[in-house]
Amino acid sequence: MANQTDVTLFKVLGGQEHAILTDWQNLLKAGGALQTGRIKEAELDTQCKTFLSQLRASVGTDGGVDKSGNSYSSLRSMLGDISRSRAVQGFSPTETAGFVFSLKQPLFNAINKSSDDAATKAASIWYTSLLLDELGLYTIDVFAKTREEIIARQTREISELSTPVVKLWDGILALPVIGTLDSERTQTIMENLLQAIVDQGAEIAIIDITGVPTVDTLTAQHLLKTIAAARLMGADCVISGIRPQIAQTMVHLGVELNVVSKANLADAFALALARVNKTVVSVKALSRVQKNGPAE
């Protein structure tokens, strides 16, 4: 151990561990750590206990306030685990960092009791404060990073699940668009659609915009570009699912979609079937025709 303050803190952590732990747990519970029901009492107690013993081990082997050193690595990884699980469980950043910061008061009290020399106490308290600040900030870092990972994952999931190209019949594709058509999504949609047109040799693609809440000029422009690209690939597009309020708004905006459009997907599908010389008949009517020949 390199300096005096480390010795004091190490001694305090060793000699008064039980008192500090009890104080800390009471403080956390008084602060409402268990009230939200997201963490069990036993779990919190274990976390406090492990943290204290890890802290003691780290302080015992390290010289300075450099927390990036090896001696603190197990403490950091333990704190990282705690922050990550709290981020996932829906704790606020304050609650997460509060776990570490609330240790200050019990530790300072213990240091106060441990010595009569004011200078030693002050130095030790300053050192402890720096140490806990850094560890507390580390929990915030991990917490924020975990949240960012969750958001990034959700963004990927949303963009994947929202742009399927569905085959309705040989040569007929449907593209149900849900949500906002920004440039990035239009790009994904266009790529998916054009690839599907090639793969399936489709003649007609139905773009269903029932799930698009707002159609403004940018959305319209994106749609027009997608349709133009599909046309170059030899496929015609039909738009379906333009709701009444959106139709009115588009007229006011002055947007013209020079493309066949139908009120709903079923109508668009019927039109597409007719284009590929197919039709839908009831089984009864079909068997009558097969039995008697076509009606005169």
Partner 1 sequence: MTVVRSEVVQILTGDDVVRVRQDVRARAVEAGFSLVDQTKIVTAASELARNTLDYGGGGTVLIERVDVGGRKAVRLTFEDQGPGIADIEKALTDGYTTGGGLGLGLGGAKRLANEFSIASNLGQGTRVSITRWK
154 in contact with partner 1 (CB under 8 A): no
> Footprint of partner 1 on residues 43-82 (CB under 8 A)?
none
Judged by CB under 8 A, the residue of 109, 162, 221, 261 near partner 1 is 221
Judged by CB under 8 A, the residue of 34, 178, 246, 257 near partner 1 is 246
DSSP 117-175: -HHHHHHHHHHHHHHHHHHHHHHHHHHHHHHHHHHHHHHHHHHHHT---EEEETTEEEE
Residues 185 and 201 sit within 8 Å (Cβ to Cβ): no
- Binding segment (CB under 8 A) for partner 1, from list 126-134, 136-144, 186-194, 240-248: 240-248
Q: What is d(CA 174, CA 182) in angstroms, rounded to the nearest whole number?
A: 20
Q: What is the DSSP letter of 70?
A: G
Q: Which amino acid is at 33?
A: A
148 in contact with partner 1 (CB under 8 A): no
Judged by CB under 8 A, the residue of 26, 248, 264, 287 near partner 1 is 248
CA atoms in the 13 A half-sphere facing the CB of 188: 16
- Binding segment (CB under 8 A) for partner 1, from list 24-32, 122-130, 179-187, 201-209: 179-187
Q: What is d(CA 55, CA 62) in angstroms, rounded to the nearest whole number?
A: 11
Min. distance of Cβ 58 from partner 1 in angstroms? 42
**Is the Cβ of residue 103 or residue 242 nearer to partner 1 in the bound state?**
242
155 in contact with partner 1 (CB under 8 A): no
**Is the Cβ of residue 88 or residue 218 nearer to partner 1 in the bound state?**
218
Min. distance of Cβ 224 from partner 1 in angstroms? 8
249 in contact with partner 1 (CB under 8 A): yes
Q: CA angle at residue 190 from 184 to 195, to 5 degrees?
A: 130
Reduce the DSSP state of residue 205 to 3 states and report it.
Answer: strand
Binding site for partner 1 (CB under 8 A): 180, 182-183, 213-218, 220-221, 244-246, 248-249, 252-255
